[in-house]
Structure 1
Amino acid sequence: MKNIFLVLKREYLTRVRKKSFIVMTILGPLLIAAFYGIIGWTAMSSISLKKIEVIDQSNLFKEKFKNSEELNYTFSAEALENAKKSFSKSGYDALVFIPNDIMTNPKGVKIFSEKSLSIELQRGIEKNIEREIETIKLTEAGITQKVLEDAKMSVSSETISLSAEGEKSNSSVAATVIGYVCAFLIYITVFIFGVQVMRSVMEEKTSRIVEVIISSIKPFELMMGKIIGVALVGLTQFALWILLTFAITTAVTSLFGKKFSASPEQRLEQVKKMPQAQEIEKQVVKETNGGSPYVKIMKAIQTLPWVTILVCFIFYFLGGYLMYSALFGAIGSAVDSETDVQQFMFPITMPIIFSIAIAQFVIREPDGALAFWTSMIPFTSPIIMMVRIPFGVPTWQIILSMVILSAGFIGTTWLAGRIYRVGILMFGKKPTFKEIGKWIFYKG
């Protein structure tokens, strides 16, 4: 145990003292925020206004299409053939032709363009035509526009869980987001820190330093020291990221809190003396009833079982990392160069890649058979169980999954240790899966 602690201490201190660790720890939250901010900005800025020329032979849709931020319609009385000839110089993105018999032949609509239309643009045009056809048919049936508008209602429901403890509000959207984020963090960290263990083992093996180290410490102790040391580095970085995020959030709140922290009731009193007070009062009342996006988001976040999520995240982060890192360490001990790594990494990384791929199906049915069994298998449970937990998982399933994962870690570590003790001193030979299998049963 003493030797494991010495290796652990060396691995931990060596990494946390690096400039790259300090820089990434400080800039990590900012870079992540900037990354998603750029994605959002890029997605919004990539949306451009599309100009659509419409030739309506039926004269039923003239000026009926509503322009939006994405689509702008211009009706033309020009003949179709002439419009097609002058289309390249017209500046329009698409030419829509609505035939005279559109009511009996809805498939007669034609859309012309110089380049292939995007699916969104095509569906936007089709939906506008479909909507107007429905309105025309309902109007012919004696249903007025006012009745149609009054019939359109926006339903916003509140989901409530019934349990032995009573009624509890919940939010499927918040559960989906938090579950996927936790699973993705485990997925990324297993790869990042697992590869660090593998590279550390390979560096010591190729430099022959390991021959000196092995003379005073057992191979298993060396492997465990490296695995646990790198795990503590990952936890340290996570803890610092959480503290920095909390500090930044607190600072921003203290600077701008007076402007945004007032309750809807307080804001209602403040705006009564302002111009257009009635309109503002309606908005504040709407927020008081939980209608604003901000209030809804805060309520959704508060409904999640945060204690369970945090405890399980730490356990599955450590369990998944320790299990996979033992295998990564075994790979590092078996190979001599980077070129030999890929053939052994693929079968090991397949389960975790499979887990993140099926996470979207588990989110759709978190209590289904697929979700249950994949949250029990130790190679997939760290990711799948974290996807399920925000939705509410029976305690016995969480305990069973944790027990199986612990057993899987012990078995995987024993297996990796058997490979490690032989592979770490094996040089100049490219191992095969068959040969590595023999290493497991070597005595000693």
Structure 2
Amino acid sequence: MDKIWLILQREYLTRVRKKSFLIMSLLTPLLLAGTTVGIAKLSGSSDTDVVAVRDESGQRLLQQLAATDDVRFVPATGNSLSEATTAFKKAKPKQNALLYFPPSFSMDNTSGVQLLADGNVSLKRQSTIKKAVNKAVGELKMSRSGLNQTTIDNLKANVEMDAVDLTQQGGRKNNVGATTGAAYILSILVYMFIFIYGVQVMRGVSEEKSSRIMEVMLSSVKPFQLMMGKILGIAAVIFTQFALWIVLSWGLTTLAAPLLKDSIRKSPPAAAATGIQEATAARNAGATATLDAGPTEAPTAAVASSPWSILDGLPVATIIGGFLFFFLGGYLLYSSMFAAIGAAVDDQTDAQQFMFPVTIPLILSYIVSINVIINGDPNGPLAFWLSMIPFTSPIAMVMRLPFGVPFWQLLLSAALLVGGFVFTTWVASRIYRVGVLMYGKKVNYRELSRWMFYKG
């Protein structure tokens, strides 16, 4: 044990004392915070799309197309589609698109509508304009069937629904967005760090083998002690980096919160519409205000007082504890296999053929787990079995944690992961002890299987 501790210290101090470690530990939270603020600023300062409307249907659709924060509609100039297209191309300031309703367009025949633009129309822009057109046509149909605008607005419903977790004492509100987001982030972190630091173990072993330093070290320690010292030393580096990132991220997020609030409050409203649109908007606003006078100020008040308030309702303690345990277990399991690969090969090129089979369970568990959360049940049979198999549980179980996992499943998954780590470490150590002193021989899977049963 003393020799493992000495190797652990060497691996840890060698990496922590490097300038690159300090720089990346400090820069990563800064880059993440800067990216978040930058995206918020850019999103908040986006311009409203201006769409010219050429209506030859006689349905007076321009009057029904209401302006929003994303798009406003203006009448196209010209007496024909050709003239309107020419005027659209020369318009100052530039217009984003030209919406054309053909003469054949009616309430019963809604085909033939075209959206013309210089270049390709983005999916978001097309979706926004299509939504506005569908709303306008729907309101026009209802008004022509004898319903006035007030009646139409009263028929609309906006039901608010809270998801409540009954497994928690007193019932706990479940923020689906925050829960899904936490699952994504945790799974990405586990996948990324297991892969990155596992490859570091493999490269470290391979470099020491190539430089023949390994032969000197093995004169004083056993191969198993050397392998475990390396794995645990890099694990200590990971947790040191995690601690730095958590502290820095907390501080930066606290400082960035006021900037994000300002971006939300200063997002530009829709530009002024034409006189006809203003009248229509005013009419709609008046009818809606009667119905929804109470919660009209809710969007402004909804800005969270703290960026960490999004975690309210989540089992934070279980998530943190489960993340650390399953990440550590997954790292130990996969890094032992990576260490065996590094010991078996003489250069990095040969390592690629052995890395892919090892990483397949990691990749598949990430892909399948995401699909389970989006389209399936995080507590269903597929998610359950993925979180029980040691090779897939580090990602699958961590992704399930924000949704709430029965305690017995956590214990069973943890026990199986520990058992899987013990077994893979035993297999890896058998390969490692032979491979570290094997030079100049091309290794294949059959040869590796023989090494497992060598005596000594």
Deviation at 1:48, TM superposition (A): 4.8
Seen in structure 2, the aligned counterparts of structure 1 residues 371 and 65 have a Cα distance that, compared at 3 Å, is: same
Distance in 1, Cα, partners of 2:50 & 2:36: 30
Are 1:230 and 2:234 counterparts?
yes
Aligned residue among 330, 351, 354 for 1:344: 354
Normalising by the residue count of structure 2, what TM-score does the alignment of the two structures yield? 0.83
> What residue is the counterpart of 2:167 in the other structure?
163
C-alpha contact (below 8 Å) 1:323/1:412 kept by paired residues: yes
Seen in structure 2, the aligned counterparts of structure 1 residues 283 and 336 have a Cα distance that, compared at 3 Å, is: farther
Aligned residue among 325, 331, 334 for 1:315: 325
C-alpha contact (below 8 Å) 1:180/1:386 kept by paired residues: no
Normalising by the residue count of structure 1, what TM-score does the alignment of the two structures yield? 0.85
C-alpha contact (below 8 Å) 1:63/1:75 kept by paired residues: no
> What residue is the counterpart of 2:434 in the other structure?
422
C-alpha contact (below 8 Å) 1:180/1:359 kept by paired residues: no
> What residue is the counterpart of 1:277 in the other structure?
none
Are 1:218 and 2:200 counterparts?
no
Aligned residue among 376, 379, 383 for 1:367: 379
Are 1:98 and 2:108 counterparts?
no
The aligned amino acid for 1:156 is E
Seen in structure 2, the aligned counterparts of structure 1 residues 418 and 182 have a Cα distance that, compared at 3 Å, is: same
Question: Which stretches in structure 1 are left out of the alignment for 5+ residues?
Answer: 257-281
Are 1:200 and 2:204 counterparts?
yes
> What residue is the counterpart of 2:36 in the other structure?
36
Q: Which protein has greater RCO, CA pairs closer than 8 Å, 6+ apart?
A: 2
Are 1:120 and 2:132 counterparts?
no
> What residue is the counterpart of 2:20 in the other structure?
20
> What residue is the counterpart of 1:357 in the other structure?
367
C-alpha contact (below 8 Å) 2:70/2:128 kept by paired residues: no
Seen in structure 2, the aligned counterparts of structure 1 residues 439 and 177 have a Cα distance that, compared at 3 Å, is: same
Partner secondary structure for residue 107 of structure 1: coil
Are 1:57 and 2:56 counterparts?
yes
Query: Per-residue displacement from partner, 1:291-316 (whole Å, max 9, x unpaired)?
Result: 62416976652211122112111111
Seen in structure 2, the aligned counterparts of structure 1 residues 23 and 303 have a Cα distance that, compared at 3 Å, is: same
Seen in structure 2, the aligned counterparts of structure 1 residues 313 and 349 have a Cα distance that, compared at 3 Å, is: same
C-alpha contact (below 8 Å) 2:88/2:95 kept by paired residues: yes
C-alpha contact (below 8 Å) 1:359/1:384 kept by paired residues: yes
Equivalence map 1:106-145=2 (5 Å): 106-145=110-149
Which deviates the most, 291-300 or 163-172?
291-300
Distance in 1, Cα, partners of 2:294 & 2:138: 33
Are 1:181 and 2:185 counterparts?
yes
Distance in 1, Cα, partners of 2:442 & 2:41: 49
Seen in structure 2, the aligned counterparts of structure 1 residues 211 and 351 have a Cα distance that, compared at 3 Å, is: same
The aligned amino acid for 2:437 is L
Instruction: State the aligned residue count.
Output: 416
Which deviates the most, 171-180 or 132-141?
171-180
Question: Which stretches in structure 2 are left out of the alignment for 5+ residues?
Answer: 260-292
Deviation at 1:248, TM superposition (A): 5.4
> What residue is the counterpart of 2:66 in the other structure?
66
Which deviates the most, 103-112 or 193-202?
103-112
Query: Per-residue displacement from partner, 1:304-343 (whole Å, max 9, x unpaired)?
Result: 1122112111111110110111111111111222222221
C-alpha contact (below 8 Å) 1:97/1:111 kept by paired residues: yes
C-alpha contact (below 8 Å) 2:203/2:348 kept by paired residues: no
Query: Per-residue displacement from partner, 1:413-442 (whole Å, max 9, x unpaired)?
Result: 111111111111111223222222222222
Deviation at 1:235, TM superposition (A): 0.8
Which deviates the most, 428-437 or 156-165?
156-165
